[in-house]
Every structure is written in structure tokens, then in C-alpha cells.
């Protein structure tokens, strides 16, 4: 076994999935008469992450005190560092639920009321309007309902149902992404088999263009790492983002053609993007440590959206003492990367002070989508042709 970094807050991973088929059958039978709650998509994604060991050492959904403590101080009442509340919110009234009862949690991704977990309720609380605002302001940095993460959060309801869970399955992710979705346990096992010890993680919700490719290679070289985990979000994204299967195909094509053999591991996780900027960057780091990664690439406006966050706020938050004292994973702090016409290669903008904006090949997301929709070729300095062809095919099929 290689000497991988320890999981967060634990000597070993604590996945909440029930993997024994006989025990799984018994649990489902025992809960057949229990009350049922259809989860929102975010809570269902939290279930998948808890089941897959990514959210080690949590044992389920936080109560109100923990949720507010995490929002305000980034730690639970017991002192565990955690950057965002992991909660089960419902639009139903708190009187619908009782402390001590078992609740069958239903997966919203299926129409046939398919159970995804069993929760033992330890408390039921109502978040006041002020408490909801406290969470929004501290986790998202804004109450603006135009922010996709805020909009999603305020639609989840105010009844907070806390308690440990037993996870029954990983929702649609293993079926829809059979070669990509993996658990924290599965990734650790793969890293062990590859004999990688120093591993840098790259978070992506988008297809990877030349700048992303070169950024991974820069991190590999600079850190003298054994390999990079290209780890993509497979859950719900905001409108306009490219679907997971298309991203998956594009990334695999790029790695197959343009990375040295055995330097990149492609995987994916079942989580909905929050677009929470710095706080989400911390969450990304926390569960990459649980995967066994020693480093996470944190670039300009990591996990951000629009102009809600300062460009390097996601890097600066890692300098807080509570973060430095709590996480073993380190960050590879990156600037915006782009192709330099002067140097004929991709560079970090901070490293070329003699450049002006016109010296780079820069395309906005809007311009890229417009070109792909019109079946136009993207500049080879911006995107690999083989990757762009996959994206063009997707836009033509829309």
C-alpha cells in the first residue's frame, strides 16, 4: 500500500453505503412502513457523497446548530472543520416529522419513488428567514437570487431534518456514468494500485481546453507529482453548462491523445455544483483529501459564477488559520492560463508581465458556444481539434 494522505478527521474512510446485499434487503424491508420524504436534488447529491465516503467523517445530515456553526465558523459544534452545511431541507412543515422516527428518503431523479437512504431523525427544526440569510451570506457570500446556488438553496424549504443516514444506492450515477463515477474508496484503491503517493486533483465542471490541459501538466511538473486526478462534477449544473456525458467524452479524448501514459486518472463524483466560490473550493479540497489527493489545483475564480467573487478569493481562504490547521491537503495556486502568441505556448498570465491582452488567445464562454453552435472550428491554440469536434457534434444535436 502506498502512503496516501489520511482522510479528513478520521484514520480511515467512513462511507455510509450499505454494501452487504442481505443487510440492505433487511433494512429496506424494516423501513417498508416508515414515513417517506422526497428529497430535493441537492440533498440527494449529499446522500451520494455521504454514501461514497467523500464526506468522511460525517454520519448524516446536520442539525440547525451545526448548520449555523458551519456557516459562521466553518466547524461543527464538536469542533470538526467543515466548510458548508450538509443538510436535508424540506418544504413540508416541521410538524410532519418526529424525532426518533425513521424516514425513507426518496430519490428525486426517478419518478417511481425509489428509496435512496434511510434517515433516523434526531431533530426537526425550522430555519427562520434570518437564519436562512446567515447561511446564504456566509456560504455563498450573497443573498442575490440571481446567483444559481442561492436560487437553488432558497427553493429547498426551511424545515431542517437532522440525523444519521444509511445509504442504499448511488442514484443514477453508476448507470449513467459506468466508466467514470467512482467512490472515494474506489479512487484510493486505484491510486494504491498505481503506486501514486503525491497526487494533484483537478476539479472541472467543463470540458477541458488547452489551458486546462497545460495547467494540469504545469502542476504535475512543479509539484513533481506522480499523477493528476481529473475529477469531474457529474451532478446537476446551471442552465447552459455542457452535460456530463459530453464532458466525459471530451476529457477522455484529450487525455488519451495528449497526456503521457499513466499520468492522469479520470473520474467523476455525484454532486450538484453550488457555485459557492471560496467555500465550495474548501469543500472540493476536503473531499479530495478523502480521495487520497495531496494537492488540489485552485485557479482563478474557482467554483465561482458571474462576478460574485474576487478572482483569487478561493485561494486566499486557504490561508485562514482554521483551514491550515484542519486540512492536510495543500493547494496548487494557479492564475488564469492562456495561449501566448509571443511565446507560442500556454502560460500563466502572471508569469508574463510583458504581455498585453492582445498577446493571448482568449475566447469568452459565449463566443465558444456561438462558434460551436455555428459548426465553426475553435482556434487550435484554444482547444484540441479532437475535443472541439466532440463539442461541435453536441451543439449540432441540440
The answer to whether 78 touches 62, Cβ cutoff 8 Å, is: no
* Rounded Cα gap, residues 378 and 311, in angstroms: 26
154 with 145: CB under 8 angstroms?
yes
Residues 24, 29, 31: CA angle, nearest 5 degrees: 100
Give exposure, 1-32, as e/b (b: 16+ Cβ within 10 Å): eeebbebbbeeebbbbbbeeeeebeebeeebe
How far is the C-alpha of 294 from the C-alpha of 263, rounded, in Å? 15
Separation CA 295–CA 333 (nearest Å): 10
How many residues in the chain?
398
* Residue 205 is among the residues annotated as catalytic for this protein: yes
Exposure of 142 by Cβ count < 10 A (0-12 exposed, 13-18 middle, 19+ buried)? Answer: middle
**C-alpha–C-alpha distance, residues 305 and 293, integer Å:** 25
DSSP string, 366-387: HHHHHHHHTTPPPPTTTS-HHH
What is the phi/psi pair of residue 116, to 5°? -120, -20
Distance of alpha carbon 35 from its chain centroid, rounded?
30
Query: What beta strand segments (E) does 197-269 contain?
Result: 199-204, 227-233, 264-269
Check: CB of residue 115 under 8 Å from CB of residue 102. Answer: no
Catalytic residue among 205, 247, 252, 350: 205
| Active-site pick, 206, 262, 290, 300 | 206
Peptide bond preceding 57 in cis form (omega within 30 of 0): yes
Residues annotated as catalytic are: 205-206
Amino acid at each position: 500500500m502506498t502512503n496516501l494522505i489520511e482522510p479528513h478527521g478520521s484514520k480511515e474512510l467512513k462511507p455510509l453505503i450499505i454494501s452487504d446485499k442481505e443487510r440492505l434487503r433487511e433494512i429496506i424491508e424494516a423501513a417498508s412502513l416508515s414515513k417517506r420524504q422526497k428529497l430535493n436534488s441537492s440533498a440527494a447529491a449529499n446522500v451520494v457523497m455521504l454514501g461514497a465516503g467523500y464526506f468522511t467523517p460525517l454520519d448524516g445530515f446536520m442539525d440547525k446548530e451545526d448548520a449555523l456553526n458551519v456557516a459562521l465558523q466553518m466547524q461543527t459544534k464538536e469542533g470538526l472543520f467543515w466548510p458548508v452545511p450538509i443538510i436535508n431541507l424540506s418544504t413540508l412543515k416541521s410538524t410532519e416529522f418526529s424525532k426518533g422516527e425513521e424516514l425513507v428518503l426518496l430519490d428525486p431523479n426517478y419518478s417511481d419513488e425509489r428509496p435512496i437512504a434511510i434517515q433516523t431523525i434526531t431533530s426537526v427544526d425550522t430555519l427562520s428567514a434570518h437564519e436562512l440569510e446567515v447561511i446564504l451570506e456566509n456560504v455563498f457570500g450573497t443573498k442575490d437570487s440571481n446567483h444559481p446556488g442561492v436560487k437553488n438553496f432558497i427553493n429547498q424549504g426551511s424545515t431542517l431534518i437532522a440525523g444519521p443516514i444509511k445509504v442504499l444506492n448511488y442514484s443514477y450515477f453508476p448507470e449513467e456514468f459506468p466508466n467514470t463515477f467512482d467512490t472515494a474508496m474506489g479512487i484510493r484503491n486505484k491510486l494504491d494500485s498505481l503506486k501514486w503517493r503525491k497526487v494533484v486533483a483537478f476539479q472541472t465542471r467543463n470540458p477541458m481546453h488547452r489551458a486546462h490541459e497545460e495547467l494540469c501538466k504545469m502542476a504535475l511538473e512543479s509539484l513533481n507529482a506522480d499523477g493528476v486526478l481529473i475529477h469531474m462534477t457529474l451532478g446537476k449544473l446551471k442552465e447552459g453548462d455542457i452535460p456530463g456525458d459530453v464532458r466525459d467524452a471530451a476529457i477522455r479524448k484529450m487525455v488519451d491523445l495528449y497526456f503521457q501514459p499513466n499520468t492522469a486518472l479520470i473520474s467523476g463524483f455525484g454532486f450538484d455544483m453550488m457555485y459557492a466560490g471560496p467555500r465550495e473550493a474548501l469543500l472540493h479540497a476536503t473531499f479530495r483529501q478523502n480521495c487520497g489527493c495531496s494537492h488540489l489545483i485552485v485557479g482563478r475564480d474557482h467554483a465561482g459564477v458571474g462576478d460574485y467573487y474576487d478572482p483569487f478569493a478561493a485561494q486566499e481562504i486557504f490561508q485562514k488559520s482554521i483551514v491550515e490547521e484542519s486540512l492536510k491537503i495543500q493547494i496548487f495556486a494557479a492564475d488564469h492560463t492562456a495561449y501566448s502568441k509571443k511565446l507560442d505556448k500556454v502560460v500563466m498570465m502572471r508569469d508574463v508581465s510583458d504581455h498585453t491582452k492582445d498577446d493571448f488567445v482568449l475566447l469568452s464562454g459565449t463566443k465558444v458556444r456561438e462558434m460551436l453552435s455555428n459548426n465553426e472550428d475553435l482556434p487550435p491554440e484554444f482547444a484540441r481539434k479532437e475535443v472541439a469536434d466532440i463539442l461541435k457534434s453536441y451543439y449540432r444535436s441540440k
